[in-house]
Amino acid sequence: MSTGSITIVGTGIKSIGQLTLEAVDVIRAAEVVFYLVADPLTAQWIRDHNDKARSLEHHYADAKRRIDSYRGMVDEVLESARDGHVVGVAFYGHPGIFVYPSHEIVRRARMERITACMLPGISADACLFADLGVDPARAGCAGFEATDFLVHQRRFDPNVGLVLWQVGLIGDLTYRQEGYDPRANLDRLARRLTTDYGEEHEVTLYEAAQYPICGPRIERMPLSHLAEAGATPISTLYIPPLASARADSKVMEQLGMKPEFIA
């Protein structure tokens, strides 16, 4: 039986500074480190701290389906663990959020009785809550990938905060080195949201800061202007609640709560 193991970590959103102590230890101690990160400084830091570091970026190819690239990454990592190596894998952001390979690596490794685990990292929505001053515990918060939101006609409560990820990639499942043109499909998203919020409801296009010397992108606009906003592959859309939800007095009474408990 293989004596290899796999530990998957996240590097956070901001270059180097959001690496957790756990992630640093994993990267330094691994016999082999695979990485897929969003900026060259983090990639260089990983290589500086482990001379057995290998990028997974070579699995991407122009117009190739992202799912096919991800499957190649999974196979490469698992092959190293089957050879008995202590493997570390570092992904951008939180390794469990919008990272198909990380979940598939853990699933398949455990099927093969290879020890595998995932450690948390700082995600884009964690940065969004801090930068926009949003407390998801106040009015609640729902989140969807933007293409999934449209294709599956997801149901949601407009009186709850709504986070839509990858609004700059709507409808495109490939990798495009030259970039993406989100305008037409952003307009479709805006029309879908307008049925619940109206054209003048203010929304925020958000991108977390990637470098310590840069600030986040926080662009507020009426929903009717969304298609013109210039979303990128890392853009997230935040839609604040339309109105405050009404408390159910009967349920409050059953719970022994007084009206003043609800702010």
Asked about 100 being catalytic, the answer comes back as: no
Active-site residue (options: 47, 66, 176, 183): 66
Q: What tokens were used for 254?
A: 């059953």
> Are 121 and 93 spatial neighbours (Cβ–Cβ below 8 Å)?
yes
Q: Which of 35, 60, 70, 206 is catalytic?
A: 70
Catalytic residue status for 66: yes
Burial per residue of 109-137, b for 16 or more beta-carbon CB atoms within 10 angstroms, e otherwise: beeeebebebbebbbbbbbbbebeebeee
108 has catalytic annotation: no
Q: What are phi and psi of 207, to 5 degrees?
A: -140, 125
How far is residue 230's CA from residue 142's CA, in Å, rounded to a whole number?
Answer: 24
User: How many whole angstroms separate alpha carbon 38 and alpha carbon 234?
Assistant: 10
Instruction: Measure the CA–CA gap between 90 and 238, rounded to whole angstroms.
Output: 27
CB atoms within 10 A of CB 205: 22
> How many Å apart are CA 133 and CA 112, to the nearest integer?
44
Q: Which of 35, 60, 92, 197 is catalytic?
A: 92
Burial class for 207, CB neighbours closer than 10 Å (0-12, 13-18, 19+)? buried
Residues annotated as catalytic are: 66, 70, 92
